[in-house]
Amino acid sequence: MWAAITKPFAWLMVKLYELTGNYGVSVIFFALVVNLILTPFMAKSKKGMMRTSRLQPQMQELQRRHEGNPQKLNQEMQKLYREEGIHPMSGCLWSLIPFPILIALYSVIRQPLTKMMSLSADAVTQLTDWVTTNAGYVAQTKSAYQEIQIADLIHQNWDAVTGALGDFSGKLLDIDYSFIGLNMGQQPSFKIWTFDWSNKAVWLPALGLFLIPIVSAVLSWLSMKISTSMTPQPAANQQQAATTNKTMMIMMPLVSLWICYTMPAALGIYWIVNSILGILRDVSLTKVFNKQLDKLDAERIAREKERDAELERKRLETERLKVAGETVVNPNTSKKKIQASQKQKDDERKAAAMREERAARRERLGVEQAAAPESQVGNRRYARGRAYARDHYAEGQAAASEAEQTPAAEAPEGKQESTE
C-alpha cells in the first residue's frame, strides 16, 4: 500500500529530473508543484481559521450566557458555525497534509533505485555487487541510505556500469546529486570540529551542508511567527494562545533541525523552499481574506441591526395591541398551535360559563335554604319516599321549640310536687 502511495511522488521526481537535469532543482520544482496543488486547501484552512478567530467574541458571549448548560452551549455553538458556514476542525485537518507528503518524499529520496527507477530486488543486487567490486563500495549494514550511495557511484561510473550490465531496459537513471557544489544525497553533519579546515574543497561543502538545517530551522520559526502575528487572538485567550505559540515556536525549529541533520540534504532543501513558499502564501492569503472578511463582517452587522430593528418594531406593535385588547395571529405559528390555542380559549370560556352557572345555582339554592328548616334531609332525592312530607321534621322541631319556651309555672302539678 505504501508503495502505491509513493509511486506518484516518485514519478513526479523522475519527470522533473528529466526536465531540469539537476537533482536539487528538481526538488525545488517538486516543492513548487506540491504547494500549487495544496494552495486551494490551505487557503480554505486559512480562511476558516481567520473566520473562527473573528467569531471569538460571539463564542465567549454564548459561553457566558450558557455557562451552566453545556448541552445548550454546544447547540448554540453548532448553530453559530452553521450560520457562518465554517467547520471548527477544518483548519487543523488541512494543516496536517504536508507531513504525509514529507514522509513520502523522504521515501523517494532514500530509495532511488526501487522508487525512482522501479528496479527489482535482483537488479539492485547486481548493481550492488558491481559497485562493490569495481567502484570500491563498502556496504554498511546500519546505513539507511545505501541506495543513494549506489546511485551516486553509478553516476560516477555511468559508462562502465551500462557497458557491463546494460540500462535494465531503460529503467536505469543517471542521477547527479550535485547542487551549488553540495551533494544532495549526503547527510549533513553538525560536528564542525571534525571538518578538515586545511582543505577548502572539503570543509566548504561540509559547511554548506551544515548550514542547511540551521536555515530550515530559522525559516520554520519565521513562518510560525508571521502566521501567529497575522491571526490575532481575542483578549480572553491571549495568555493561552501566547503559551501555545511559544511552545510551537520552540518545538518546530527543533524538529526541523533533527530532520535535516538525520536525513539527506535534499530533504532540507525541500523544507527550506516549502517554508519560503508557506510564508509568501500566508502573507498574500491574509491580505486577501482580511478584505473579504471585513466586507462580510460589515454585511453581518447590517443584518443584525436590521433584525434588531424588526424585533423592536414587533415588540412595540405587540405592546400596542395588548393595551388595545386586540390579538394578532403570528403567520409563522403552525396550524396545530393555532388549533390548540383556540381549543384552550374555548375550554376557558366553557369553564367560566360553568362557574357562573354554579354560582347562580348556589345563590338560588341559598335563598331557598334560608327559608327552609335546618334539616335538609327532605331535600335529598334518595331520602324522598312515598310518605315524603316537606314539613314533617319542621313540625316536630317547632313543637320542641314551644315546649322549651313554656314557663316553669305552667308545668303540670304532679311534676312540681315530685320536684319538691
Q: Are residues 108 and 218 in the same domain?
A: yes
Q: What is the distance, to the nearest Å, from the Cα of residue 383 to the centroid of all Cα atoms in its chain?
A: 80
Q: Are residues 261 and 201 in the same domain?
A: yes
Mean pLDDT of 4-27: 91
Q: Are residues 244 and 99 in the same domain?
A: yes
Q: Give me the pLDDT at residue 374, please.
A: 47
**pLDDT above 60 for 410:** no
Domain that holds residue 145: 127-172
Query: Quick one: 349 exposed, middle or buried, by C-beta within 10 A (0-12, 13-18, 19+)?
Result: exposed
Structural domain contains residue 33: yes
Q: Give me the pLDDT at residue 265, please.
A: 93
Grid coordinates of 161: 556500469
Q: Are residues 19 and 145 in the same domain?
A: no
Give bridge partners of residue 182 from the DSSP assignment. 179
Q: Are residues 16 and 136 in the same domain?
A: no
Q: Are residues 74 and 210 in the same domain?
A: yes
- Interacting residues of 28 by C-beta distance below 8 A, sequence separation 6+: 269, 270, 273
What total number of domains does the chain contain? 2
Mean pLDDT of 338-343: 76
Q: Are residues 69 and 179 in the same domain?
A: yes
**414 — pLDDT class (breaks 50, 70, 90):** very low
Long-range contacts of 5-8 (CB under 8 A, 24+ apart): 5/104, 6/104, 6/107, 6/108, 6/115, 7/115
Structural domain contains residue 78: yes
Q: Are residues 102 and 30 in the same domain?
A: yes
Give me the phi and psi of 183, to 5 degrees please: -90, 110
The last residue of a domain, from among 139, 172, 205: 172
**405 — pLDDT class (breaks 50, 70, 90):** low
Crossing angle for the helix pair 23-54 and 2-20, nearest 10 degrees? 120
Largest pairwise CA distance in the chain: 169
Q: Are residues 37 and 64 in the same domain?
A: yes
Q: Give me the pLDDT at residue 325, please.
A: 64
**pLDDT above 60 for 329:** no
SS3 182: strand
Give the containing element (helix H, strand E) for 178: strand 178-179
257, 231, 260: which is closest to 245 by C-alpha?
231
Q: Are residues 217 and 84 in the same domain?
A: yes
Structural domain contains residue 192: yes
Structural domain contains residue 38: yes
Q: What is the C-alpha separation between 324 and 319, in angstroms, rounded?
A: 9
Query: Quick one: 327 exposed, middle or buried, by C-beta within 10 A (0-12, 13-18, 19+)?
Result: exposed
Q: Are residues 233 and 88 in the same domain?
A: yes
Mean pLDDT of 7-13: 91
Structural domain contains residue 150: yes
**pLDDT above 60 for 339:** yes
The total number of residues written for the chain in this structure:
420
Mean pLDDT of 377-381: 51
Cα torsion through 99, 102, 108, 110, rounded to 10: -110
396-419 core/surface letters (b: 16 or more CB in 10 A; e: else): eeeeeeeeeeeeeeeeeeeeeeee
Structural domain contains residue 364: no
pTM above 0.85, yes or no: no
**Pairwise pLDDT comparison (46 vs 263), residue with the higher score:** 263
At 101-114, the pLDDT tens digits run 888 888 999 999 99
Q: Give me the pLDDT at residue 305, please.
A: 86
Q: What is the C-alpha separation between 352 and 336, in angstroms, rounded?
A: 24
65, 144, 74, 138: which is closest to 111 by C-alpha?
144
The last residue of a domain, from among 297, 327, 355: 297
Q: Give me the pLDDT at residue 363, please.
A: 79
At 208-249, the pLDDT tens digits run 999 999 999 999 889 888 877 766 554 445 566 567 777 878
Asked which of 113-122, 128-137, 138-147, 322-331 is least confident by mean pLDDT, the reply is 322-331
Asked which of 42-46, 64-68, 140-144, 218-222 is least confident by mean pLDDT, the reply is 140-144
Q: Give me the pLDDT at residue 95, please.
A: 66
264, 271, 228: which is closest to 246 by C-alpha?
228
Q: What is the C-alpha separation between 333 and 207, in angstroms, rounded?
A: 78
Average pLDDT over the chain, rounded to an integer: 78
**420 — pLDDT class (breaks 50, 70, 90):** very low
Structural domain contains residue 385: no
Q: Are residues 75 and 159 in the same domain?
A: no
Provide the 8-state DSSP code for 377: G
Provide the 8-state DSSP code for 226: H
**268 — pLDDT class (breaks 50, 70, 90):** very high
Q: Give me the pLDDT at residue 212, please.
A: 93
Q: Give me the pLDDT at residue 332, please.
A: 56
Tell me how far apart the terminal alpha carbons of the chain are, to the nearest angstrom: 133
Structural domain contains residue 80: yes
Asked which of 106-110, 283-287, 323-327, 394-398 is least confident by mean pLDDT, the reply is 394-398
The last residue of a domain, from among 297, 327, 359: 297
Contact of 182 with 222, CB cutoff 8 Å? no
Q: What is the C-alpha separation between 398 and 379, in angstroms, rounded?
A: 19
**pLDDT above 90 for 28:** yes
Asked which of 239-243, 252-256, 309-313 is least confident by mean pLDDT, the reply is 239-243
- Interacting residues of 219 by C-beta distance below 8 A, sequence separation 6+: 271, 272, 275, 276, 279
SS3 179: strand
